[in-house]
Chains A and B, each alone.
Chain A
Amino acid sequence: MEKEKKDIFESIWSLLASVKLAISLLIMLAATSIVGTIVEQNAEPAQNIKLLAKFFGDSFAPTVYNIFAKLGFMDMYDSWWFLSLLALFGINLIVCSLERFPKTWKLVQAVQRPMSESVLKSLPVKKELKIKTTLSVAKDEFFNALTASRYRVLEATEEGSVQLYTQKGRYVRLSVYVVHLSIILIFAGAIIGSVFGFKGYLNIPEGSMYNVAFKSPTEKIPLGFSVKCNWYETLYYEEIDSPKDFRSELVIIEDGKEVMKKIIEVNDPLTYKGITFFQSNYGMMPDTVGKFILDITPKNGPKATVWLRYGDTFEIPGTGIKGTIMDFSPALTRDRGTGSLITYSENMVNPAVLIKFEEPGREPYVGWILKRYPSTGVLNGGHSVIFKDYWGVEYTGLSVSKDPGVWLIYLASILMAVGLYVCFFMSHKKIWVNIAEEGKSVNITVGASTNRNRLTLEQKIEKIVSHASKAIEGRKS
């Protein structure tokens, strides 16, 4: 009974350690992942039923959908079986590495020993030559040639012969374990992130402040501090409506004090106390009136910034010219057909303000000033009224995340990169040079082995041999 239990345990262990299992798991993970990219994840049922109808016909699609949904394919990457596959993959990797590591470690630690000439000749890389010289000269020159290639050479002397032997890069054999370890660390980082972190969102209207983020409309996550959006803006490339930048100015307020202020943009978030705010979205708030920010500069006078509401009147200092805010368009353009001015988007693509100017003794006139085209704000008299912003009507859409596992992911990435580099571009090389006296000549047998890139080693051996034999020739003359 005891023995049987042990047998079962052992066979499970050896299954978990097998590369066969790894191969099957890789195939299963790849195959199921494909399904997950075809079926739209976390989508409205109707969408996927429509998709399935293409394969199974309209009448079967709902049934197939229900089966698929039960199996978790609609939220596949979070389903119990996909996570189990990943877990099994991780366990496989750990067990397999544990099984093999001691053997590799022995290989790494093994002391290199001199070898008999006949064994040398059976090595994958070998070279034999005969040179007229003495044993000690040949030994010296091969020693030098190997040392020049940065090998640390050991030697064993026998009657009438000497053997130089050396190895390099034995720790390269550990690189596979570094790669495997990095995968385990990525799993660990992902688990830490999903247990201790969160992913939420937060839409802040310009000028407002929040101390929570949202996981869903009803689920709040307290931040532990407050975040305020001073302003949001979309910058556009000149002449085209292709966005150049999405930016917001955020302020972090803790215990009533401003502790941080930053203009964030896509690819440049703000992080405070482990919580990061990313620019991910924007939009207009319905039914909100904001404030017009104008930069007013009389000719030869100083600039003044004013904040105004609809219908407000301002004066260009020292000129007697009065302006009144008449209208606003978030996206003003001229209709190609009729030539009249129209608003072509709800979003602030090309914001414009209509201002009525009145000057004593002159006819009042009305003109649009466009934010994206400051030249539209230059008046006849050389005064300028620049439309800076219509503030308070947009919100900035932030994604808010806390992921205490991310540093581990980054560390693992570095390990993986280094591990892969070493694994594929470096190798463990062993070289033996046997030099035996025969009359006035020496017979030289070079044997070498490597765990990778035999071709490179062969070239290296060629180089060392020719280096050494040239030096030997040189000594004669």
Chain B
Amino acid sequence: MNSSLFFDISAGAYIAAMVIYVIYLVTRNSKVGITATAVTISGFVCQSTALLIRWVNSYYFWTAEHTASGVIESLLRAAPLRNLYESLIFFVWALILAHLLVEFKYKNRSLGAFVTPIAALVLLFIDVTGTSKEIMPLVPALQSNWLLFHVFLAFLGYAAFGVSFGASAAYIVLITESKFEKTYLFWSFIIGVFLIVLIAMGIDFLSLSAAQRVQLIQSHFLKASFRSSSSVVVAVSWISAGGFFLILWWFGYGLKNLLTKLSITPEMLDDITYKSIAVGFPLFTVGGLIMGAIWANSAWGKYWTWDPKETWSLITWFVYALYLHARFVGGWRGKRVAILAMVGFISVIFTYLGVNLVLSGLHSYGG
């Protein structure tokens, strides 16, 4: 059986859920809200099925080549966390899971409108970059249980951080009192950069042939817009980006009224941000840093080499440690900590994608 149909259905469901959550924000019709949750849950069930199918498939793929490998070992080696595509899919899965947990715990649906877009963006990213979806043989360095636990826990942590990003972004909108506040400008800038990069990658994607798409990230990143060889295209890109920022900045403020009407309080968002970081931080520390270090030690004899990937995980860790201390003992409140929470997740994204896009490292992830 092939898992891709189920993956496609779930991706469709998440994107639909995003739209419905936004409609819910606007209409505040509780039936719409229930529909949004139902669609999300169906997508989640589909995706879980797809993950299981893929796991089974790669189990057979592995055992065909490694006949001496035991059942447990084969199951571990086949776990669908083996390359960029699978880890991003798993991230989406964990993010939706975290979101559903928050929704049930806080009995409030509105956060969906902030978290499902992250899921949709990641799914879009996968398709836009043409990330390989094939089940590939595992190169020797990746044949390690530590690596598996490392990716598994780190991505659960990333998902929790993703929720905190959604909550802190909503928080900033909610407490903004004027469009000219620095915090709100920061917010518009960050959200704008996210969307613009994604749109620009979409343009890259459309401008490339199928064969070139595989190389999008490595060789064609933003080559159809900001990094084009034609200066006209570059100028047009910057001007449209500027326009986009203005629109986002102008209309983003409107979200505040919506959120207020939905009886979402800043306290609640702050609480969600803090709690998800409190869950994400231990997961990321143990999964991302400790397991990663143990794996590096067992594969290369050194638990820490300051390679860019490791260093960026450490930077991410510093940012979240900063968040915890600033909020818990440093007496920071409100906007400042919300910005830290946003910066933390930007650092997560850079750790995972930016290092492969911009810097190069030892790690084999990255398409």
Contacts and interface: CB of A to CB of B under 8 A. Distances in A.
Given A30-B315, A401-B301, A420-B285, A267 B306 contact: no
Contact of A77 (B278, B306, B318, B355): B306
Interface string B132-167: 000011011101100000000000000000000000
B55 interface: no
A199 B302 contact: yes
A276 interface: yes
B318 A424 contact: no
Contacts of B137: 237, 240, 242, 244
A245 B139 CA distance: 7
Contact of A23 (B299, B311, B322): B322
Nearest to B322: A26
Nearest to B147: A267
Interface in A189-236: 190, 199
B293 A20 contact: no
Given A244-B137, A244-B140, A266-B141, A238 B65 contact: yes
A266 B299 contact: yes
Contacts of A34: 315
B321 A26 contact: yes
A421 interface: yes
B282 A23 contact: no
Given A199-B302, A413-B290, A420-B282, A37 B312 contact: yes
Interface residues of A, number: 48
Interface stretch (B3-11, B113-121, B325-333): B325-333
Interface in A235-285: 237-238, 240, 242-246, 265-269, 276, 278, 280
A245 B140 contact: yes
A26 B303 contact: no
A306 interface: no
A36 B309 CA distance: 11
B303 A409 contact: yes
A278 B297 CA distance: 10
B231 interface: no
Most B CB within 10 A of own CB, among A269, A399, A413, A421: A413
Contacts, number: 108
B179 to A, nearest CB: 28
Given A242-B139, A266-B140, A424 B303 contact: no
Contacts of B190: none
B281 interface: yes
Contact of A33 (B315, B325, B326): B315
A366 interface: no
A304 interface: no
A137 interface: no
A161 to B, nearest CB: 36
Interface in B255-287: 278-279, 281-282, 285-286
Contacts of A41: 306
B314 interface: yes
Nearest to A424: B278
B188 to A, nearest CB: 23
A22 interface: yes
Interface in A84-136: none
A193 B326 CA distance: 32
Contacts of A278: 299-301
Interface in B310-346: 311-312, 314-315, 318-319, 321-322, 325-326, 329-330
Q: Which residue of A190, A237, A401 has the most chain B CB atoms within 10 A of its CB atom?
A: A237
B286 A420 contact: yes
Interface in A14-58: 19-20, 22-23, 26-27, 29-30, 33-34, 36-38, 41
B282 A413 contact: no
B6 to A, nearest CB: 27
Contacts of A190: 304
A12 interface: no
Contacts of A417: 282, 285-286, 290
Interface string A412-454: 0100110011011100000000000000000000000000000
Nearest to B283: A420
Contacts of A81: none
Contacts of B141: 266-267
B146 to A, nearest CB: 8
Contacts of A22: 325
B330 A20 contact: yes
A413 B298 contact: no
B359 interface: yes
A410 interface: yes
Nearest to B295: A267
Contacts of A27: 322
B84 interface: no
Contacts of A423: 282
A406 interface: yes
Nearest to A38: B359
A244 B325 CA distance: 45
Contact of B140 (A37, A243, A269): A243
A26 B286 CA distance: 19
B248 interface: no
B298 A269 contact: yes
B12 interface: no
A382 B302 CA distance: 51
Given A20-B330, A33-B315, A424-B279, A416 B65 contact: no
Nearest to A398: B301
Interface in A173-191: 190
Nearest to A28: B318
B318 A26 contact: yes
Contacts of B297: 406
Contacts of A421: 282
A19 B282 contact: no
B144 A267 contact: yes
Contacts of B278: 424
Nearest to B359: A37
A37 B143 CA distance: 27
Nearest to A201: B301
Contacts of B139: 242-243
Contact of A413 (B293, B322, B355): B293
Given A244-B65, A409-B293, A26 B300 contact: no
Contacts of B144: 267
Nearest to A30: B318
Contacts of A240: 137
B32 interface: no
Interface of A: 19-20, 22-23, 26-27, 29-30, 33-34, 36-38, 41, 77, 190, 199, 237-238, 240, 242-246, 265-269, 276, 278, 280, 399-401, 403, 406, 409-410, 413, 416-417, 420-421, 423-425
8 contacts: A238-B65, A246-B140, A266-B143, A280-B301, A406-B303, A416-B285, A416-B290, A420-B281
By Cβ-Cβ distance, the 9 closest A-B pairs, closest first, are A420-B282, A401-B301, A266-B140, A37-B308, A30-B318, A278-B301, A267-B144, A237-B137, A413-B290
Given A36-B311, A267-B140, A400-B301, 16 more contacts: A23-B330, A27-B322, A37-B359, A38-B359, A41-B306, A77-B306, A237-B137, A242-B137, A246-B140, A267-B298, A269-B301, A399-B300, A403-B301, A410-B294, A421-B282, A424-B281
